[in-house]
Amino acid sequence: MTSAYEPNPRRWKALTVTLVAGFMSLLDVSIVSVALPSIQHGLGTTPAGVQWVVSGYALAFGLALVPAGRLGDAIGRRTMFLTALGAFVLFSALAGLAPSTEVLIVARLAQGISAGALAPQNSALIQQLFRGAERGRAFGFFGSTVGISTAVGPVVGGLILAVAGEDEGWRWIFYVNVPIGLVALVLAARLLPRARGGPRGQLDLVGAALLGTGVLAVMLPLVLAEAGGLARLWWLFGLGTALLVLFVRWERQVAARGGSPMLDIALFTGTPGYGTGALLGMVYFVGFAGIWLVFALYFQTGLGYTPLQSGLAVTPFAVGSAASAVVGGRLVEKWGRKLTVTGLTLVVAGLAVTAVVLRLAPPHVAGWVVAPALLVAGVGGGWVISPNTTLTLRHVPVAMAGAAGGALQTGQRIGAAIGTAALTGVFYLVLTSSGRDFPVAVSVAVGGATVAVSLALVVALVELRARPRCPSAVDGAEQAVPDVP
């Protein structure tokens, strides 16, 4: 039997350390984009090689999430967190030292696997360390970290390149992770609880293989879209769907015979709010994650902004998201799903106005006049990611928190890949057909993001109607995993 929950006195300090590590891993999804010209110049990288530097990380990140979450549930989240963080620091250093494109790509793939192993431990540790209203606050800080890391990557990358120089500045994009990661590693070793893992049983290797190959088949054409991946690899979507159907059938069989499935499908069918919350997150990330490359292309290619100026132009979204996510963490227990409905409504309104403003505003003031609309969208965004994570995971047993958090984030990564490929494709298509009219192209692409977020709003409204009352966070899912002194 598990012991009653007793608050860990160092839980907030432990959370701070895990969020710093999570910020680094998520920042590396977007920060490298602004350094691609520097990498091409420094290593003589081909366009295809550059594509793998960016996409390889995102692909490996998505593939590692669920297996790593399940391992954390089985062997202990502290062990998995320290292992993944140590590997991330090591491969960041290797990426910075890379003498060739091939070494850089290998380092980035290893970095992505390490980051993907790290991510589900963050949400699982919040499940383990916090209860009730405190858990909502903790997820508020987590959501703020996700929002800021996604939005400020271009700003941080631009600053590093401005200080370190264009020729070798790209190396410092990776080097900066090393000192921060080492400090976080030492602090995490001191602060994270030595909790026992759950029942280990036999690892579901067949399930891991089916899920991994299925996700790979779905994501590969998307992350390679700019290099013609959709045209060449479209057939992988059918293969990936078939593999994921086989994965679901296999997991049900494993669970039926009393085994330890990689991901218990009952989470989606029997855990209140989990299935709809995961769907909401995936659809939202189609619009949320898909617009950043579109903005970068518009401001840098269309208006001639520097990477730093381009990043600063979208900073209002990050500022609004960071502020509201912290507040949202305090409101989620009282408002429940109404909070995400409110947030999604603000995001839809903000992006819709952004699309109109960028279409009509004179180009030389576009970065300024779009700031209020992006701020509104950012405030709404802060009330989406962290509250949805809290509501989606609130009834998940702590013993399954790693796998559940990994599956939730896998959906978000797939959504991000779809959004980036689709919205960038729309941008280029309209740009070509309109005679390189950048305002029209960015307006249509941001309009597409608005549609995606509107679909997420529909999912939230359906969930709100199905569960109008905010259930108590203290239920059977709150059983504690005891700390070992």
Euclidean distance between CA atoms 363 and 360, whole angstroms: 9
Domain membership of residue 165 (yes or no) is: yes
Q: Read off the tokens for 454.
A: 């509107």
Euclidean distance between CA atoms 462 and 439, whole angstroms: 35
Sign of the four-CA dihedral 237, 239, 245, 248: negative
Structure-model confidence comparison of residues 47 and 145, the more confident one: 145
Mean pLDDT computed over every residue of the chain: 85
What is the enclosing helix (H) or strand (E) of 234? none
Q: Read off the tokens for 165.
A: 């120089």
pLDDT in tens, 183-218: 999 999 999 988 655 555 567 888 888 988 998 888
Domain membership of residue 479 (yes or no) is: no
Domain membership of residue 6 (yes or no) is: no
Q: Read off the tokens for 457.
A: 């709003």
DSSP-assigned beta bridge partners for residue 194: 484
Helices 11-30 and 177-191 meet at what angle, rounded to 10?
A: 150
The predicted structure's pLDDT at residue 229: 76
SS3 178: helix
Q: Is the pLDDT of residue 419 over 60?
A: yes
Helices 77-97 and 177-191 meet at what angle, rounded to 10?
A: 170
pLDDT in tens, 366-382: 999 999 999 999 999 98
Contact 354, 299 (CB under 8 A): no
Domain membership of residue 3 (yes or no) is: no
Q: Read off the tokens for 8.
A: 């860990």
Helices (H) and strands (E) in the chain, counts: 22, 2
Euclidean distance between CA atoms 23 and 360, whole angstroms: 35
Domain membership of residue 448 (yes or no) is: yes
Q: Is the pLDDT of residue 29 over 60?
A: yes
Domain membership of residue 47 (yes or no) is: yes
The predicted structure's pLDDT at residue 473: 41
Domain membership of residue 385 (yes or no) is: yes
Q: Please work out, in degrees rounded to the nearest 5, the angle formed at the alpha carbon of residue 240 by the alpha carbons of 232 and 32.
A: 65
Structure-model confidence comparison of residues 140 and 268, the more confident one: 268
Contact residues for 435 (Cβ-Cβ < 8 A; gap 6+): none
Count CB-CB contacts under 10 A for residue 241: 13
Structure-model confidence comparison of residues 39 and 283, the more confident one: 283
Which of 312, 290, 305, 320 has the alpha carbon at shortest distance from 446? 290
Q: Read off the tokens for 420.
A: 């980036």
Structure-model confidence comparison of residues 222 and 455, the more confident one: 455
SS3 282: helix
Q: Domain holding 187: CATH number?
A: 1.20.1250.20
Share above pLDDT 70 across residues of the chain, in percent, rounded to a whole number:
93
Structural domain harbouring 460: 11-194+201-473
Residue with tokens 């203290």: 474
Domain membership of residue 482 (yes or no) is: no
The pLDDT of 403-430, averaged and rounded, is: 86
What total number of domains does the chain contain? 1
Contact residues for 373 (Cβ-Cβ < 8 A; gap 6+): 350, 351, 353, 354, 357
Contact 28, 81 (CB under 8 A): no
Q: Is the pLDDT of residue 242 over 60?
A: yes
260 φ, ψ (degrees, to nearest 5): -110, 95
pLDDT in tens, 456-484: 999 999 988 887 655 444 344 444 333 33
The pLDDT of 278-287, averaged and rounded, is: 93
The predicted structure's pLDDT at residue 349: 97
Euclidean distance between CA atoms 266 and 316, whole angstroms: 40
Euclidean distance between CA atoms 113 and 283, whole angstroms: 24
